[in-house]
Structures are given as structure tokens and as C-alpha cells.
């Protein structure tokens, strides 16, 4: 039982840096609502591999300068067993609850955020590609 929604707790969104901050975890309610809806569609636990990042940790791991993660409006979700990142991205997009979706097929996760404007992308072999290319990657 989560303390944010049925299946999600605030601790899952805490900054994952080791010695960077107080590990507080501001997290957007709209983001969490979307994740809960996705959890229901998937029907299995979703692992948040990156939720909130303090600026120090975000810099350390090479995140975008003004990453949505530093605003508590983004989550990276590992593709659960039986789901490819492309499948998970399509399911997330179909909900219409996230503004932005990035698919990282060769790294096994999907980024979703609620930045307020639409944005989609793929990231393959260490470089940005179109969302469609990201979705197609696994079908090669």
C-alpha cells in the first residue's frame, strides 16, 4: 500500500544520489496519478528507476541541465517482465495523462513527465533519435 496512491509511495521518488542532498522527494501529484493509471493497465508493479533528482545528483549523472527530474515532474520506469520499453511507452501514451514520453529501448526504461507541453523522443545507442525510431528499435 502506497502513501501517495494505492501502489506508490513517496520514498520511491526520492533522489537516488548517495551523499548529495536530504533525499526529499517533491513529486507532482499529476505525475503520480498518471503512474497509478499506468500501473493498473500494466497489472504489475512498476519500478521507478529515477524520480526526483536534486541538482547536484542530476549534474553528476549527466542529466539535462533543467531536467524535469529536478522539478519532481518526471519518472523513469523500468519495463516490467513481459513488457518491452516500446510496449510500455505506447501504454503510457495511450492514457493521455503524460505530456512527454521518451523511450530508451536499449536501456530498458521509459521516461514520462508532466512538463505542460508535448514532447516525445527516443534514445538509442547513446544518442537522441525520434520517438518512432525509439519504438521501432526492438523490432529490428
Cβ proximity to Zn ion, 20 vs 95, nearer residue: 20
Task: Tell me, by CB under 5 A, how many residues bind Zn ion.
Answer: 6
Query: How far apart are CB 20 and Zn ion at their closest, in Å?
Result: 3
- Under rule CB under 5 A, residue 114 binds Zn ion: no
Name residues whose C-beta falls within 8 Å of residue 137's C-beta, 6 or more positions apart in sequence. Answer: 86, 103, 105, 106, 122, 124
DSSP codes, 98-122? -SEEEEETTTTEEEEE--SS-EEEE
Provide the 10 A C-beta neighbour count for residue 96.
Answer: 9
Angle at 115 between CA 8 and CA 55, to 5 degrees: 75
CB 60 within 8 A of CB 17: yes
Q: Which of 20, 37, 97, 129 binds Zn ion (CB under 5 A)?
A: 20
For the bound state, the minimum distance from the C-beta of residue 67 to Zn ion, rounded and expressed in Å, comes to 12
Shortest separation between residue 19's beta carbon and Zn ion, angstroms:
8
27 near Zn ion (CB under 5 A) = no
Binding mask 49-88 for Zn ion (x = CB under 5 A): -----x--x-------------------------------
- Residues at the site binding Zn ion, with contacts judged by CB under 5 A: 15, 17, 20-21, 54, 57
Amino acid at each position: 500500500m502506497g502513501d501517495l496512491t494505492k501502489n506508490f509511495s513517496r520514498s520511491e521518488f526520492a533522489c537516488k544520489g548517495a551523499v548529495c542532498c536530504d533525499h526529499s522527494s517533491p513529486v507532482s501529484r499529476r505525475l503520480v496519478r498518471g503512474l497509478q493509471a499506468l500501473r493498473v493497465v500494466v497489472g504489475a508493479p512498476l519500478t521507478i528507476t529515477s524520480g526526483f533528482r536534486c541538482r547536484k545528483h542530476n549534474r553528476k549523472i549527466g542529466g539535462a541541465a533543467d531536467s524535469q527530474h529536478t522539478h519532481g515532474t518526471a519518472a523513469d520506469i523500468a519495463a516490467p517482465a513481459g513488457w518491452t520499453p516500446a510496449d510500455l511507452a505506447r501504454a503510457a501514451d495511450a492514457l493521455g495523462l503524460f505530456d512527454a514520453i521518451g523511450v530508451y529501448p536499449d536501456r530498458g526504461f521509459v521516461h514520462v513527465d508532466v512538463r505542460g507541453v508535448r514532447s516525445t523522443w527516443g534514445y538509442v545507442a547513446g544518442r537522441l533519435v525520434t520517438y518512432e525510431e525509439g519504438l521501432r528499435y526492438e523490432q529490428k
